[in-house]
Amino acid sequence: MDFSVLLEEIKQADTITIFRHVSPDCDAVGSQFALKNWIEENFEGKHVYACGKEVTHQAEWPDNDEVNDDIIASSIAIVLDTANKQRVDDERFAQALKVIKVDHHPDREPFGDICLINDSAAATCEILTFFFDTYKEYVFSQKTAEYLYRGLLTDSLNYTTNNTTQETLKAGGILASTGLDLSKISHDVFDNSIRGFKFTGYIISHTEVLDNAFAYVIIDEETYTSYGLNASDARSFVGKLSNVRDFSVYAVFTTKKDASGKTLYDGSLRSKKNRINDIAEKFGGGGHACAAGVKNLTQENMTNILNLLRKRI
Ligand SMILES: [Mn+2]
């Protein structure tokens, strides 16, 4: 991948705003804070802002920066880990002087003036690792590396997802060479709270299994709220269904009510090898081949998507 354009843009800019997707995960936030830190450690005097309103409670992260419209309008915006415009946390990114997209999702909806896409990377943090490692004249500190390692580990689910490659492991090695405490970081990002542990029990005992291969669970708003979780946190437990040998496709759905009181469903869909993002796209969702999401399904669409996922096995 040719990173020279990205480096050149960073060198030229006085003000850089860094964006990532809504409902951020550790890859979104990790790539964001890693890039901010790397620029700050290497380019004195530049103004760098980590934008976005939402946070993730998986591991501890710095606060996002408050940014006014004038700052954004005078900045170059780097949008990380976000496949389409609608998913950027803070739509004001579009007002920037220039927009640069850096991502590892399939590029179905290209946006921005410059696109750096590698959809065979397991994480955006993997892409940034190679970016920083390419230019050895700059500092690649342990702090930057730790942010990246969190995203690499979580997006690849500990190097187990089917987009994990030798490059992913190579990136892990580059990051580890800065002296990271690998065991500690792994516990930081993957350890459960007691409440989460109990919620896992709820998920396991309420999972429906079809054809011995398709597992799904629907969690209503009252239930996830009673565990102190929001809907997106609740769906992030989908990984708890991944380590059952017989499950090849699995999903967690959460319910919510629309303005008229009608129940709608959001879902996180996973698969060990069958492609499922085309199914998600039929319902207005999307994502990676084997890890995708859908939102705002009606009861009827719920029935339809369950049938399609079941048939995919
Ligand atoms: Mn990602």
pLDDT tens by residue, 173-184: 999 999 999 999
How far does the centroid of ligand 1 lie from the alpha carbon of residue 83, in Å? 9
Percent of the chain with pLDDT over 90: 93
State the average pLDDT over residues 284-302: 94
From CA 281, how far away is CA 64, in angstroms rounded? 31
pLDDT in tens, 254-263: 999 999 999 9
Q: What is the pLDDT of residue 23?
A: 86
How far does the centroid of ligand 1 lie from the alpha carbon of residue 211, in Å? 31
State the average pLDDT over residues 216-231: 96
Q: What is the pLDDT of residue 207?
A: 98
From CA 252, how far away is CA 229, in angstroms rounded? 14
How far does the centroid of ligand 1 lie from the alpha carbon of residue 153, in Å? 11
On the question of pLDDT at 108 being above 90, the answer is no
Q: 213 falls in which pLDDT band (50, 70, 90)?
A: very high
How far does the centroid of ligand 1 lie from the alpha carbon of residue 287, in Å? 10
How far does the centroid of ligand 1 lie from the alpha carbon of residue 230, in Å? 20
How far does the centroid of ligand 1 lie from the alpha carbon of residue 157, in Å? 11
How far does the centroid of ligand 1 lie from the alpha carbon of residue 26, in Å? 8
On the question of pLDDT at 278 being above 90, the answer is yes
Mean pLDDT rounded to a whole number for the chain: 96
On the question of pLDDT at 129 being above 90, the answer is yes
Q: 215 falls in which pLDDT band (50, 70, 90)?
A: very high
How far does the centroid of ligand 1 lie from the alpha carbon of residue 20, in Å? 10
pLDDT in tens, 25-71: 999 999 999 999 999 999 999 999 999 998 888 889 999 999 999 99
pLDDT in tens, 1-32: 899 999 999 999 999 999 999 989 999 999 99
How far does the centroid of ligand 1 lie from the alpha carbon of residue 300, in Å? 30
How far does the centroid of ligand 1 lie from the alpha carbon of residue 214, in Å? 24
How far does the centroid of ligand 1 lie from the alpha carbon of residue 123, in Å? 5
How far does the centroid of ligand 1 lie from the alpha carbon of residue 259, in Å? 31
State the average pLDDT over residues 148-156: 97
Q: What is the pLDDT of residue 231?
A: 94
